[in-house]
A and B are shown apart, each in its own frame.
Chain A
Amino acid sequence: MGRKLLTEHINVEGIDTFEVYRKHGGYRSVEKAIKTMTPDEVVEEVKKSGLRGRGGAGFPTGMKWSFLAKPEGVPRYLVCNADESEPGTFKDRQLMSKLPHLLIEGMITSSYALGANTSYIYIRGELLYVLRILEKAIAEAYANGFLGKNILGSGYDLDLHVHPGGGAYICGEETALLESLEGKRGNPRNKPPFPAVQGLYARPTVVNNVESIAAVPVIVNEGGDEYAKIGVGRSTGTKLISACGHLNKPGIYEIELGLPVEEFIYSDEYCGGIWKGRELKAVVAGGSSVPILPKELILKTAAGENRLMTYESLSDGGFVTGTMLGSGGFIAMDETTCIVRNTWNFSRFYHHESCGQCSPCREGTGWMEKVLHRLEHGHGHMEDIDLLVSVAKQIEGNTICPLGEAAAWPVAAAVRHFRHEFEWHVTHAKEAAQPGAVYRANAVLV
């Protein structure tokens, strides 16, 4: 049974209220940090913990905090990125709706560490019910002296605001999020300057994911060294995984990093195997933007070692035989899944969500989607398969923000690992175009 650091009390009745949360040890980290530690000591603990950004990039959180410019007399900001909207990723909304005070506690402790007196939670506009829950919890925190002026008599002031976004995936990119928070169109900014130097309102800003901030209270309470003992190598602590697709028990699981992928899929403690007794075909391990891997490569690395749920193990082999832990959006596909249709579906999403600011992403995402649409509907040609790879390559690395990569990687990986299915769609155009036909692509194997 793995340890639960964030979700230990998630099923306690009334844990979303200040009273019950406090009874279960809530807000201890705020007291400890403000009364007994300097801001730099809190940053040091986070550094020691080895916590890595849980939003997808996996950048060390403590290091990110230490990059924050600290000019005197200039406000600094902490912004929580709660704009979760990647297909397959749905862990933050659960954390916020069930444990709103955990996030608020993390925001207060982190803001204290960064010297921020105003902080924001930028939440996806569609999650209106979560926004209401957070607003209620923030009001309770204000009423109990954990937010506002002179927190716990320490002289430290903090105001916390929740800001609903307009419901655009691009606003999850940190600079687009800041633009949106400033009331502008959510277009990503050119970097440099990075937000740590010029972020919100051109002031030094740290943007962190919900799960990263929610891990801070545990780190402060238990100490960074204790936190770092969990996990494997540079992948420390626990991680929320939102598992979906053809699994017996899809859901949100808190795992200790280092759990074998096979155990995560097949053990009863977690996903309980593939539904209807079918075979696993492929997995997207970290949200729809990361490369898809076939069964043999998601369970074992190319070298034959067990694939583990860690940043390093999942990316073993680069993008040829590896993938990414990403945001932990774990999508399992059984043997009846058509990879071409699935790739088209992902591509539709990125085409729809591209902001249109830079040319490769604006034109390329649409181009890939149209070619995939053609292939899926029986109008494709053999050269379309190489065309897809070429267009993906033209987008990758040449855009303002990582949405370009997010759109290109799934397509390139699908062709790399399941080229025979794309070819089958060309050679069996009529069968491929049948509405509702399943198991079509596997027919090539018969």
Chain B
Amino acid sequence: MAKITFDGVEVEVPDGTTILNAARQIGGSIVPPAMCYYTPLKGSGGKCRACLVRVAAGSAKDPRPMPKLVASCVTPVQDGMVVENTTSEQVLNVRKGIVEMLLINHPLDCPVCDQAGECDLQNFAFEHGVSTTRYQEERRTFEKIDIGPLIQLHMTRCILCYRCVYTANQITDNRVHGVLGRGDAAEIGTYIENIIDNDFSGNVIDVCPVGALTDKTFRFKSRVWFTKPVNAHRDCPKCSGNVVLWYKGKDVLRTTARKDQYGEVKEWICNECRFEKKETSDWTIEGPAHIDRSSVISANHYELPVLNQSVIADLPESTQRELAQNPPLKLGS
């Protein structure tokens, strides 16, 4: 086990844990943003540089600070490490710069983008960016490409996080897409206008942090905040069958995999579940999906706080009696 201090908070984690995952154990707003790192994808991370942090002390054995900022998603912790994230002005300045770089070519077409409301870059820019840019040059644009009947690639929005490439490489066979070209001419593309047509190809849509890869069965049907997510499952021979159905009225507008609080897919789902099962009768409904308080969908939908039993025990007796008579909807253990 290694004990590290992250923004003044001590946390003990198993050896080999990355700084980012150690911070996630603390949770809250001090967790560095991650645009390219994705836990289920082996080898991801280190590319967007959004999660750079300052290591003020390398370890208990060697307490010297690291000379450069390090990518927290790929740097393992060492016992006695001291990390500065929100407490380092240098880190916050660099993050402003990274937002500026990422927005050089990414259009601010949030009003017409299907990812709006669920966009990691939108959140990243809101939390760490500035409202102006110093970039005056011409920006690069692309025509939209249909990579198969189900997925559309809008390369203009791509920030080259490589998540979809790792997904295609690791969970599908006959990989046909990757990164072509280099530098700022690099782009996601398929092998000579090939299509992505294997059973798990739809997962590239879920991992895309921006609106570059979109679900053609959902495009322009509704803004995400007008939909209602519901957990559901079915007996699927190919995948776990655990999904989120996004309802508008009685209609299922889209189906996605379930994600954790960091927007990472918990279990990959197959294309049949994602694209073909759009009737309520296809599914066993479990109930409303949990919506993170920071999500745009949770706006104006208030949730009662989760109270732990240990917290309740410390409350005055009168309050405890009141809580026993009118318990909150959720009680933690």
Question: 1/0 per position for B157-177, CB-CB distance to A under 8 A?
Answer: 001101000000000000000
Chain B CB count within 10 A is highest, among A168, A351, A363, for A363
- Chain A residue nearest to B75 (CB atoms) is A192
In the assembly, what is the distance between CA of A270 and CA of B186, in Å?
43
Q: Is the CB of B137 within 8 A of A370?
A: yes
Segment of A146-154, A392-400, A417-425 engaged in the interface with chain B: A392-400
Q: Is the CB of A356 within 8 A of B69?
A: no
Q: Is the CB of B49 within 8 A of A363?
A: no
In the assembly, what is the distance between CA of A360 and CA of B159, in Å?
12
B186: chain A residues at CB < 8 Å are: 355-356, 362
Assess whether A87 is interfacial by the CB under 8 Å rule: no
Assess whether B179 is interfacial by the CB under 8 Å rule: yes
A358: chain B residues at CB < 8 Å are: 46-49
B49: chain A residues at CB < 8 Å are: 358-360, 398-399
Count of inter-chain pairs, beta carbons less than 8 A: 91
Within 8 A of B (CB), among A329-366: 351-360, 362-366
Known interface pairs A192-B76, A397-B69. Does A356 touch B181 (Cβ–Cβ under 8 Å)? Answer: yes
In the assembly, what is the distance between CA of A355 and CA of B180, in Å?
11
CB distance from A6 to the nearest CB of B (A): 32
Q: Is the CB of A398 within 8 A of B137?
A: no
In the assembly, what is the distance between CA of A374 and CA of B94, in Å?
26
Assess whether B155 is interfacial by the CB under 8 Å rule: no
CB distance from A430 to the nearest CB of B (A): 20
Q: Is the CB of A359 within 8 A of B183?
A: no
Assess whether A367 is interfacial by the CB under 8 Å rule: yes
CB distance from A171 to the nearest CB of B (A): 11
Assess whether A387 is interfacial by the CB under 8 Å rule: yes
Q: Is the CB of A359 within 8 A of B48?
A: yes
Segment of B95-103, B236-244, B298-306 engaged in the interface with chain A: B95-103
Which listed residue, B50, B137, B160, touches A356 by the CB 8 Å rule?
B160
Assess whether A190 is interfacial by the CB under 8 Å rule: yes
- Chain B residue nearest to A355 (CB atoms) is B182
Q: Is the CB of B159 within 8 A of A359?
A: yes
Question: 1/0 per position for B74-110, CB-CB distance to A under 8 A?
Answer: 1110000000000000000010011011101100000
Smallest CB-CB A-B distances: 3 pairs: A356-B186, A394-B97, A190-B46
Interface set of B (CB-CB < 8 Å, partner A): 45-50, 52, 68-69, 71, 74-76, 94, 97-98, 100-102, 104-105, 134-135, 137, 159-160, 162, 178-179, 181-186
| Subset of 17 A-B contacts with CB under 8 Å | A185-B178, A190-B45, A190-B46, A351-B183, A359-B48, A363-B104, A366-B183, A366-B184, A367-B137, A371-B137, A374-B137, A394-B98, A394-B100, A398-B52, A398-B69, A398-B98, A400-B46
Interface set of A (CB-CB < 8 Å, partner B): 168, 170, 185, 190, 192, 351-360, 362-367, 370-371, 374, 387, 390, 394, 397-400
